[in-house]
């Protein structure tokens, strides 16, 4: 009943903001200065009036099961509903596709419009979006010491290791750290966290593109940042694919809808935990990237692609639904999971998967690709097989069931790099919450741990 009320409230909020696209010349900082006081007052009221309200019971299965599903974290920008999927300040992915500004000459959501929504809770105007694109482009060049650091690393070093090192080293220029050392009011923390966060988001494309060039295409020059392009437009251009409009549009969509996925996932939670120590956003997000690099988090889309390519290699080109069904059962009976299916929270097809499928369906070249065809056919067969198997809570596809396969089609065939793209994306939501944690004065995160003996004693009591 509470969930239904909350969802109705979210939909009402979504309609409210999707209808408010008035012309504006505010900067994102000015927009935040308007909304932060109301959020601070809301948090104060929750603490003083409802501090003893019970949100759920902690069970032994939560404690030993990775805290899965335990309601214990404030994360305001996005809420993940098991049935409806992700909503960003009340807006579903289809809502965002209808209301958030695209790039000039494009149709897909861009990172800047999603970042504005995540930070302010409001749909940006066209002018606000372009202004933010320009602001990020002007901040996007890498400092010389970062260029020297990345160029000095062995190309055999994993791209995610390099990305984390580069992000951590950017804290050399942290305005939050410098201001904190001089002594600033707590009420001002968020302004410096915002500046660091925008600087980091702005530099991630150049950093990620340099790693790609060094590891995979050292013969290529890296174009400079075009201040008239959006964040992802520049990123694709620096990767060397700037003439591929469809890939650019795909990565705009991919990065925007991957930007946030509630706060409990490992990379988002790591950012929140490290930032709660008052570490600057660079150090907090460097830790998040190493959480993202783990096989149980950010590597899923490359595992899907590898599995799909193995299926095609084994079964050939004329693959029927029955062939796929047999391959699925062989995978399950061998003790393996079907990659790209199931989710820790979702109990229906992931709306992000649906959005990527719809993107494919509008492009004949993608529809003709055997790997993309295989993704679609697998979706038509896998849920029934997984239901019959009976060991998967969610037999439906998540976003990873499609995302890597589209990258592969467009020539980004280097599997190890896929998580770097994910890392560029997830900064939008994780750093948004770092800004808000400082604005709301959230404390150091410090859960209580228990030994097995202590648990047994509590059970006896």
**Nearby residues of 227 by Cβ (< 8 Å), 6 or more positions away:** 134, 137, 138
Is 400 marked active-site? yes
Calculate helix-pair angle for 159-169, 418-439, nearest 10 degrees: 30
d(CA 250, CA 392): 30
**Element spanning 356, H or E:** helix 351-361
- Polymer length in residues for the chain: 461
Catalytic: which of 343, 350, 369, 409? 343
Catalytic: which of 62, 158, 297, 389? 297
324's tokens: 């796929």
d(CA 410, CA 154): 27
Question: In which residue are the tokens 């032994």 written?
Answer: 60
d(CA 74, CA 71): 9
Write down the H helix ranges in 217-257.
231-239, 245-257
Catalytic: which of 258, 369, 400, 409? 400
Is 321 marked active-site? no
88: three-class secondary structure by DSSP: strand
Write down the H helix ranges in 92-226.
93-99, 111-120, 126-138, 144-152, 159-169, 175-182, 189-216
d(CA 9, CA 70): 22
Q: How many CB atoms lie within 10 A of CB 433?
A: 28
Q: Is 460 buried (19+), middle (13-18) or exposed (0-12) by CB count in 10 A?
A: exposed
d(CA 426, CA 300): 15
Q: How far is CA 432 from the centre of its chain?
A: 11
Q: How far apart are the first and last CA of the chain?
A: 32
Exposed e or buried b per residue across 362-390, where buried means at least 16 C-beta atoms within 10 angstroms of its C-beta: ebeebeebebbbbbeebbebbbebbeeee
Contact criterion met (CB below 8 Å) for 315 and 375: no
Q: Is 360 buried (19+), middle (13-18) or exposed (0-12) by CB count in 10 A?
A: buried
Q: Is 8 buried (19+), middle (13-18) or exposed (0-12) by CB count in 10 A?
A: exposed
The catalytic residues are 297, 343, 400
């Amino acid at each position: 009943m509470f969930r239904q009320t909350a969802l109705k409230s979210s939909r009402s909020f979504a309609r409210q903001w999707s209808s408010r696209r008035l012309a504006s010349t505010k900067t994102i900082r000015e927009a935040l200065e308007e909304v932060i006081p109301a959020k601070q007052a809301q948090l104060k009221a929750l603490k003083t009036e409802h501090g003893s309200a019970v949100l759920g019971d902690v069970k032994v299965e939560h404690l030993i099961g990775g805290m899965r599903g335990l309601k214990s974290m404030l994360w305001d920008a996005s809420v993940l509903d098991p049935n409806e999927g992700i909503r960003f300040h009340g807006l579903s992915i289809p809502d965002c596709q209808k209301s958030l500004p695209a790039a000039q000459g494009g149709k897909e959501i861009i990172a800047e419009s999603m970042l504005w929504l995540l930070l302010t809770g409001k749909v940006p105007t066209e002018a606000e979006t372009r202004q933010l694109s320009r602001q990020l482009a002007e901040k996007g060049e890498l400092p010389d010491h970062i260029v020297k650091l990345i160029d000095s690393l062995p190309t055999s070093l994993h791209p995610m290791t390099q990305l984390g090192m580069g992000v951590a080293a950017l804290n050399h220029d942290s305005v939050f750290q410098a201001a904190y050392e001089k002594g600033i009011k707590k009420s001002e923390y968020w302004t410096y966290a915002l500046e660091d966060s925008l600087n980091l988001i702005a530099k991630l494309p150049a950093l990620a593109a340099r790693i790609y060039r060094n590891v995979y295409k050292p013969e290529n020059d890296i174009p400079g940042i075009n201040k008239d392009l959006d964040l992802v437009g520049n990123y694709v251009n620096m990767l060397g694919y700037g003439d591929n409009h469809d890939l650019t549009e795909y990565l705009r969509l991919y990065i925007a809808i991957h930007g946030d996925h509630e706060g409990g996932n490992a990379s988002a939670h790591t950012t929140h935990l490290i930032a709660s120590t008052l570490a600057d956003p660079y150090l907090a997000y460097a830790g998040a990237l190493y959480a993202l690099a783990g096989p149980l988090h950010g590597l899923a889309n490359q595992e899907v692609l590898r599995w799909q390519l193995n299926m095609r290699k084994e079964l050939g080109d004329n693959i029927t639904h029955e062939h796929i069904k047999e391959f699925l059962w062989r995978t399950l009976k061998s003790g393996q999971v079907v990659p790209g299916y199931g989710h820790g929270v979702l109990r229906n097809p992931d709306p992000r998967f649906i959005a990527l499928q719809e993107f494919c369906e509008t492009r004949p070249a993608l529809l003709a690709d055997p790997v993309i065809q295989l993704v679609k056919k697998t979706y038509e067969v896998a849920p029934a097989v997984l239901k019959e198997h009976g060991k998967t809570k969610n037999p439906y596809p998540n976003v990873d069931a499609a995302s890597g396969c589209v990258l592969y089609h467009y020539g980004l065939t280097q599997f190890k790099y896929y998580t770097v793209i994910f890392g560029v994306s997830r900064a939008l939501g994780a750093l948004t919450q770092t800004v808000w944690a400082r604005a709301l004065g959230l404390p150091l995160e410090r859960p209580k741990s228990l030994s097995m003996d202590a648990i047994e004693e509590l059970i006896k009591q």
